[in-house]
Amino acid sequence: MSKSRRTYKYRLWPNRKQREVLFSTLEVCRQLYNDALKERREAWKLCRTCVSFSMQSAQLPACKAADPALGNVYSQVLQDVLHRVDKTYQAFFRRGRGFPRFKGQGWYDSFTYPQAGFGVNGGQLSLSKIGNVKIKLHRWLQGEVKTLTLKNENGKWYACFSSILDSEPLPENHDAIGIDVGLEAFAVTSDAEMVDNPRWFRAAQKELRRKQRHVSRCTKRSSGWKRACRRVAKLHRHVFHQRNDFQHKLSRELVNNYGIIAVEDLNIQGLAGGTLAKSVHDAAWSGFIRKLSYKAESAGRWLVKVNARGTSQQCPCGRAVPKKLWDRKHHCSACGLETIRDHASALEILRRGLRLRTETPALAGVALEAPSFSYGA
Ligand SMILES: [Zn+2]
């Protein structure tokens, strides 16, 4: 049986003393992170040698002897900090960009118990070296818990449990769908369905702009400015939760109804550059794909990511139908397909997805039918 990983997030209600301990733990971790990063950078600068995770981990006991503050933090939490440094380094070498940075105050917001040192008992989360913190378990924690990350978001504390679940496959389904990132709508499907951004989205955007203008009018670091900043952060959080909810529902619906789902692969970089609005949209889209991904995996569905370059310039019949950015219509003189631009792209994404599927030997046995489409009928 295959497994999938899921994160459960719960609000924590630490008392004043516990808040102090949580924040001081965060600070110890931040300093360790920066020290470990510094050691790696200097070793590289001075003698061109790489410092590995195991080398740094072996030094921890000596560091603890020298700095008693480290002794106040659970040792596996410290190990995890070194792991994070290691991971950012690996990512840097893999991508060749994004050199690891030092974390300034306020830029380090979480720490992790990677295996042990925590437990839940009733409404209490017991944390080694911190104590029993009140937790609100608003939904059932399922699966086998692997790690616990404690996170600070705008002064509020959360416990994020990462857990491994057995997949629950849904009944077999050979229906296929392609989804394109909409320019105006959130997404457009190959079934010619426009998935609109929810109504609250536009309203919240407007409200956010208004509140942000208010921040910029205030004198920096004045009490009014701080209050305005808090309001912006609060609204951001609200929008974030609403968006999450919307994406969960949409991805659940797709996974329940389709056996094969084709989407654009965001890791294949499209045209260089882009506006801020686009990057915000991309961020929302990748969050959606992530949710779709694990739901599909756990349900035994097939999610295929295709290279979407040029999907707006090609008809699913294979003929090139060039369009300018402002051309909203698709008209193919070869097959006669006439529809809106994003719908044609979604059809093309689906076609590419299905082609990839037939090229994947493990799935080639499944009968493949060409999907039929009509728009506006
Ligand atoms: Zn055509």
- 134-171 pLDDT tens trace: 988 887 777 888 999 999 988 899 999 998 887 777 88
pLDDT of residue 2: 66
Q: Do strands 144-153 and 110-113 pair parallel, antiparallel, or not at all (unpaired)?
A: antiparallel
Residue 111: inside a domain = yes
Can you tell me the mean pLDDT for 253-274? 75
> For residue 26, what are the β-bridge partners?
none
Whole domain around residue 182: which residue ranges? 176-198+236-363
d(CA 100, ligand 1 centre) in Å: 48
Residue 339: inside a domain = yes
d(CA 185, ligand 1 centre) in Å: 24
What would the pLDDT profile of 305-364 be if each residue is shown by its tens digit? 888 788 888 998 888 999 887 888 999 999 988 998 889 999 999 999 988 876 654 443
Our count of domains for the chain comes to: 2
Q: Is the confidence at residue 179, as pLDDT, over 90?
A: yes
Res. 120 pLDDT band, cuts 50 70 90: confident
pLDDT higher at 139 or 179: 179
pLDDT of residue 130: 87
Residue with tokens 């999450």: 244
Can you tell me the mean pLDDT for 215-227? 88
pTM of the model: 0.61
Q: How far apart are CA 253 and CA 247, in angstroms?
A: 10
Residues with CB under 5 A from ligand 1 (ion): 315, 317, 319, 332, 334-335, 337
Q: Are residues 101 and 181 in the same domain?
A: no
Q: How far apart are CA 165 and CA 5, in angstroms?
A: 6
Asked whether 151 and 26 are in contact (CB, 8 A), the reply is: no
Q: Are residues 351 and 292 in the same domain?
A: yes
Res. 199 pLDDT band, cuts 50 70 90: confident
Residue with tokens 């997030």: 9
d(CA 38, ligand 1 centre) in Å: 58
d(CA 372, ligand 1 centre) in Å: 13
d(CA 354, ligand 1 centre) in Å: 17
Asked whether 328 and 340 are in contact (CB, 8 A), the reply is: yes
Q: How far apart are CA 129 and CA 73, in angstroms?
A: 6
Q: Are residues 338 and 294 in the same domain?
A: yes
Q: Are residues 27 and 133 in the same domain?
A: yes
Q: How far apart are CA 245 and CA 247, in angstroms?
A: 5
Q: Are residues 192 and 312 in the same domain?
A: yes
pLDDT higher at 270 or 86: 86
pLDDT of residue 33: 93
d(CA 251, ligand 1 centre) in Å: 29
Res. 268 pLDDT band, cuts 50 70 90: low
Q: Do strands 338-340 and 260-264 pair parallel, antiparallel, or not at all (unpaired)?
A: unpaired
Residue with tokens 């000596």: 62
d(CA 155, ligand 1 centre) in Å: 55
Q: Are residues 156 and 186 in the same domain?
A: no
- Strands (E) across 73-213 are located at 110-113, 118-121, 124-127, 131-136, 144-153, 156-166, 176-181, 187-189, 194-195
Residue 148: inside a domain = yes
Residue 307: inside a domain = yes
pLDDT higher at 313 or 273: 313
Q: How far apart are CA 369 and CA 357, in angstroms?
A: 12
Q: Are residues 46 and 74 in the same domain?
A: yes
Q: How far apart are CA 12 and CA 22, in angstroms?
A: 11
* Residue 246: CATH number of its domain: 3.30.420.10
What type of residue sits at position 262? A
> For residue 304, what are the β-bridge partners?
262
Q: Are residues 38 and 103 in the same domain?
A: yes
Q: Are residues 106 and 181 in the same domain?
A: no
Can you tell me the mean pLDDT for 44-50? 77
d(CA 179, ligand 1 centre) in Å: 18
Q: How far apart are CA 128 and CA 146, in angstroms?
A: 16
d(CA 304, ligand 1 centre) in Å: 23
Q: What is the 3-state secondary structure (H, E, C) of 330-346?
A: EECCCCCCEEEHHHHHH
Res. 267 pLDDT band, cuts 50 70 90: low
